[in-house]
Chains A and B, each alone.
Chain A
Amino acid sequence: MTPRRVAVTGMGLICPLGRDPEAVFRDMIAGRSGVSALDAFDTTGFEVKVAARVRDFDPGAALPGELGAFLERGLDRKTAFGLAAAGDALASAFGAAAPSSVPPARRGVHLATGLTSTEVPEAEQDFLAHLDGRGAYDPRSAGRAAARNDGLFAYRHMTDLCAALVARRAGAAGPVLTNHGACAAAAQAIGHAFHDLREGEIDLAVCGGFESMIHPFGVLSFALLGALSTTTDRPPEAVSRPFDRTRDGFVIGEGAAMFVLEPLDLALARGARPLAEIVGYGSSLDAFRVTAPAPHGAGAARAMRSALRDAGLPPEAVGYINAHGTATPLNDAHETEAIRAVFGGPGRAPPVSSTKSMIGHAVAAAGAVEGVAVVQALRHQVLPPTLNLRDPDPECDLDYVPLVGRPASFEYAVSNSFGFGGQNASLVFRRWEGPA
């Protein structure tokens, strides 16, 4: 069949700057930061002191009543984020109405998330019960703990629970998938949903990512990998500084973002108002090392080229790139090199910015949360800035929209997400030109 155009008709966002995509974007273009002191747990003796945490979020209120107390007790933080964002996205696309004109088998759910939950109370309950009297690991203790099962162990560690619940809420009986592509995961979920819609597999998709790793095990793991900023001589909101000469790692974030996607013709026929179009998706593998990105950003460049080819666009059509821009020394240098290879050097490449400077790195949800920023940038024709970029790195010589947002006139934007292990993904969004 002829490829169909794909419209974004709904968005839901839970991020450190808030839950309302309009207000969050206003904060972004004003250069406000959602990074603050890491107070989720006691960090005495630990070198990481900041995080971009979602505040004022009540998981209980995020849940639909029909889930009941059982799941409410077992639900972990990231799954609650995901459900809340999906609910907001469906409400923004359909209001109170259900998407009843689309048969259930033609509705899909493509989500992305990271590891199973290791929040502290759960870790205590689920793992420390596995010790013998001397504190050594004893599988027999693990067995006895499982035999005494409180019914919640599995739900705490069920990373496909969110997709199953979102599918139920959206009435989806088509493809329901959750992927684990590390930091590229949410972009991959959106990309696969986009392809399924474009190619006529389905007529409605809920897609995006949800993540929360601001717990001791998550922060410790990234710290051991040397990926996190250990800056303490700046205020928290000034720590995340992508493309800056002094950058020293990322600030861990959390949250969720979900999109409702529909074929443009069906969306317009039902009177929906498109927020943007998605026109391209591409991915690649570094196949280099598990510990470092490929030299010269070769994998990242392949992902961007693959997305542009998929969109049928020349590089010069792109007016903005939302960078992966983690603020690790390697990522930002490699990503810059990759953008130069695909789009040309300074003066030829479009403006690039990293919204991680304000909301941190939402890990598996990053591509979705940043996708919302891209859609808002297209709608408002304003580029969100790279906060804290005051001392440009000579190796990073592109236009990174430092400090505050900038009005621009542009039709296409690329969003990059690159994962540990060398999984890379790029999405191409298009401004919706019709009546808004």
Chain B
Amino acid sequence: MRPSRADVVVTGIGLVTPLGTGREATLAGWREGRSAVAPIRAFDASGFPWTHGAEVADFEPRRHLADRKAIKLMSRNARLAVHAAGDALAQAGAGAVGAGEGEGCGLFAACGYEVPEMDDVVGMMAGSRAEDPAGDAPAPGEGRVPLSLRRLFESGRHRMNPIDALKVLPNMAMAHVAITHGIRGVNLSVGPWGGSALAAVGEGAKALLRGSCEAALVGGTDAQVNPFDVSYLGTRGLLSSTGACRPFDRGRDGTVPGEGAAFLLLEGRARAEARGARALARLAGWGSGAAPGDGPADFGAPGGPEGYGGAAERALHRAGWDPGDVDLWVADGWGTPRGDAAEEEAARALGLPASAERLFTKHRLGHCGGAAGALDAGLAVALSTGRGARILAWAGDPSGAAAAVCLEATP
């Protein structure tokens, strides 16, 4: 039952966001106008120049994950992903994954690195420092502390659980989603960048049209409120030092790290109707683009105007829409000076109408890394179902890569 190009629909949206665990909790938080951006609680961030984040505060693994034995095998982004995937599949209803052993369901996701358990990793390394012959340990943070490999191996054997070695593999979130929900079809785990989750949506759509699967769970997951990711984003110059993300504002100075997971279930309209599932939206188009930048250390603004614009042109072309058809523009809105300017430039060059409503989320949800694009698009569809809006959503990354989708919410 291979869908035609016009027939790919969204029948489930799963969200775990800083506004709440689950789509309904997120929607309620959004409608109340809440912001989840607050001083970081997950760790003591007082040493960082960047002290704010958006955390999923109400997520409780033992309440939100059915298989409690599996919890210890999962790092945080896998836990968030498993719940968000379940949220999407539950809305999509019985038979969403499909008959047989789930080999007809594809899985395409942007997965964050599994680095949050820094205490364990660094603790192991701490036990591996070479003895200082003079007896005085180097002051913390001052230059290099030599490692003793002999101690590392000993310490690793004693302190490191093999499970921890597995947890850090970057495709583990996908493995846990597959195991929990019985998904055995075609797949890809994309890296956790700004545009990756929307690129994953496009990969899933292509697999459906090709007939490689009959349904595809697409989206992303990331848990960025940890010292490693904050260091990574901060030293790239992407985080706000004032702790406030202000997309498109004159005073904007960066984004704030967030965490979350978002999944959409895609399938052909005929399959959805046969199952009695409601089409929440039609996925009309998708596309990717890149703005390679030119300076040695310069990877452009997030996405760059050519990245956002190129991705959007492809998505609109595939949808058969004119830019003037867009009712709702889901902007990326990192809140970085250059990124937001690049988006404005791309929107102008493309000819997005001034009448189009603009939705952006990072001032309230932070930048949820690998989940970001799917999270914004999923939220936009959930808010628009019943209104018939034509939605253009895009997301990009400072490396220059961007992706876009066109979604027609069901009237």
Residues of chain A touching chain B, judged by Cβ–Cβ distance below 8 Å, are: 41-46, 66-68, 70-71, 105, 108-109, 114-116, 120-121, 123-133, 135-149, 151, 153-155, 157-161, 163-164, 167-168, 171-182, 185, 188, 192, 195-196, 199, 201, 216, 220-222, 224-226, 282-291, 299, 302, 306, 310, 419-423
Q: A310 contacts B212, CB within 8 Å?
A: yes
B38 within 8 A of A: no
Cβ 8 A contact of B232, one of A138, A153, A167, A289? A153
B313: chain A residues within 8 A (beta carbon): 105
**Smallest CB–CB gap between A170 and chain B, Å?**
9
Q: B235 contacts A151, CB within 8 Å?
A: yes
B182: chain A residues within 8 A (beta carbon): 287
Q: B166 contacts A142, CB within 8 Å?
A: no
Q: Kindly report which residue of chain A lies nearest to residue B175, judged by CB atoms.
A: A421
Q: Kindly report which residue of chain A lies nearest to residue B299, judged by CB atoms.
A: A164
**Smallest CB–CB gap between A126 and chain B, Å?**
8
Q: A140 contacts B165, CB within 8 Å?
A: no
CA distance A289 to B69 in the complex (A): 12
Q: B166 contacts A290, CB within 8 Å?
A: yes
CA distance A171 to B126 in the complex (A): 44
**Smallest CB–CB gap between B316 and chain A, Å?**
13
Q: B145 contacts A131, CB within 8 Å?
A: yes
Q: Kindly report which residue of chain A lies nearest to residue B292, judged by CB atoms.
A: A168
A68: chain B residues within 8 A (beta carbon): 296-297
**Smallest CB–CB gap between A33 and chain B, Å?**
25
304-354 of chain B: CB within 8 A of chain A = 306-307, 310, 313-314
B183: chain A residues within 8 A (beta carbon): 285, 287
Cβ 8 A contact of A164, one of B111, B118, B171, B292? B292
Q: B174 contacts A421, CB within 8 Å?
A: yes
Cβ 8 A contact of A128, one of B48, B145, B289? B145
B172 within 8 A of A: yes
CA distance A283 to B178 in the complex (A): 13
Contact with A along B152-187 (1 / 0, CB 8 A): 111011001111011011111011101100111111
Cβ 8 A contact of A178, one of B119, B191, B232, B299? B191
Cβ 8 A contact of B126, one of A105, A131, A142, A284? A131
B103 within 8 A of A: yes
Cβ 8 A contact of B399, one of A158, A286, A302? A158
Q: B184 contacts A285, CB within 8 Å?
A: yes
Q: A285 contacts B296, CB within 8 Å?
A: no
CA distance A174 to B195 in the complex (A): 13
B174: chain A residues within 8 A (beta carbon): 285, 421, 423
Q: A139 contacts B47, CB within 8 Å?
A: yes
CA distance A246 to B344 in the complex (A): 63
A147 with B156: in contact, given A138-B140, A221-B165, A285-B183 (CB under 8 Å)?
Answer: no
Cβ 8 A contact of A144, one of B121, B141, B235? B141
**Smallest CB–CB gap between B243 and chain A, Å?**
14
A interface: dominant SS: mixed
Q: A180 contacts B170, CB within 8 Å?
A: yes
Q: Kindly report which residue of chain B lies nearest to residue A74, judged by CB atoms.
A: B297
B220 within 8 A of A: no
B235: chain A residues within 8 A (beta carbon): 146, 149, 151, 153-154
262-305 of chain B: CB within 8 A of chain A = 288-294, 296-297, 299
CA distance A255 to B187 in the complex (A): 24
**Smallest CB–CB gap between B368 and chain A, Å?**
17
Q: A225 contacts B144, CB within 8 Å?
A: no
B102 within 8 A of A: yes
Q: A136 contacts B123, CB within 8 Å?
A: yes
Q: A125 contacts B144, CB within 8 Å?
A: yes
Q: A167 contacts B227, CB within 8 Å?
A: no
Cβ 8 A contact of B227, one of A71, A130, A133, A147? A130
Cβ 8 A contact of A173, one of B46, B144, B290? B290
A302: chain B residues within 8 A (beta carbon): 103, 184
Q: B232 contacts A157, CB within 8 Å?
A: yes
Contact with A along B225-247 (1 / 0, CB 8 A): 00110111111100000000000
A121 with B293: in contact, given A180-B191, A287-B179 (CB under 8 Å)?
Answer: no
**Smallest CB–CB gap between B333 and chain A, Å?**
21
CA distance A108 to B182 in the complex (A): 32
Residues of chain B touching chain A, judged by Cβ–Cβ distance below 8 Å, are: 43-49, 73, 102-103, 107, 111, 113, 115, 118-119, 121-123, 125-127, 129, 137, 139-142, 144-147, 149-150, 152-154, 156-157, 160-163, 165-166, 168-172, 174-176, 178-179, 182-191, 193, 196, 199, 203, 206, 210, 212, 227-228, 230-236, 288-294, 296-297, 299, 306-307, 310, 313-314, 397, 399-401, 403
A182: chain B residues within 8 A (beta carbon): 169-171
Q: B147 contacts A299, CB within 8 Å?
A: no
B171: chain A residues within 8 A (beta carbon): 180-182, 185, 419-421, 423
A164: chain B residues within 8 A (beta carbon): 290, 292-293, 299, 399-401
**Smallest CB–CB gap between B53 and chain A, Å?**
12
Q: Which 6 A-B pairs have the closest CB atoms?
A: A143-B47, A140-B47, A421-B175, A143-B48, A68-B296, A180-B170
Cβ 8 A contact of B184, one of A144, A154, A286? A286
A148: chain B residues within 8 A (beta carbon): 141
Cβ 8 A contact of B206, one of A44, A139, A161, A199? A199
Q: B147 contacts A120, CB within 8 Å?
A: yes
A sample of 14 more A-B contacts (CB under 8 A), given A114-B169, A143-B47, is A41-B149, A44-B150, A66-B296, A115-B170, A129-B145, A135-B127, A139-B45, A142-B228, A151-B297, A168-B293, A173-B292, A177-B190, A177-B196, A287-B182
Cβ 8 A contact of B139, one of A133, A140, A226, A282? A133
Cβ 8 A contact of A146, one of B43, B125, B230? B230
CA distance A102 to B227 in the complex (A): 43
Q: A285 contacts B126, CB within 8 Å?
A: no
Cβ 8 A contact of B290, one of A167, A216, A286? A167
Could you give 23 example pairs across A and B, Cβ below 8 Å?
A44-B149, A120-B147, A124-B145, A129-B141, A129-B142, A139-B47, A142-B228, A147-B47, A149-B234, A160-B397, A164-B293, A172-B290, A173-B290, A175-B290, A176-B400, A180-B191, A185-B171, A220-B152, A284-B187, A285-B107, A310-B210, A420-B171, A421-B169
CA distance A372 to B237 in the complex (A): 39
A142 with B401: in contact, given A132-B140, A288-B179 (CB under 8 Å)?
Answer: no
Q: A224 contacts B160, CB within 8 Å?
A: yes
A175 with B199: in contact, given A168-B293, A195-B206 (CB under 8 Å)?
Answer: yes
CA distance A429 to B183 in the complex (A): 27
Cβ 8 A contact of B121, one of A43, A127, A136? A127
CA distance A124 to B144 in the complex (A): 6
A139 with B44: in contact, given A125-B144, A153-B235 (CB under 8 Å)?
Answer: yes
Q: Which of A44, A176, A216 has the most CB of B within 10 A?
A: A176
Q: B179 contacts A146, CB within 8 Å?
A: no
CA distance A147 to B49 in the complex (A): 6
B140: chain A residues within 8 A (beta carbon): 129-133, 138, 141
A66: chain B residues within 8 A (beta carbon): 296
CA distance A327 to B118 in the complex (A): 32
**Smallest CB–CB gap between B85 and chain A, Å?**
12
CA distance A221 to B123 in the complex (A): 15
A155: chain B residues within 8 A (beta carbon): 297
Q: Which of A128, A291, A299 has the most CB of B within 10 A?
A: A128
Q: A306 contacts B212, CB within 8 Å?
A: yes
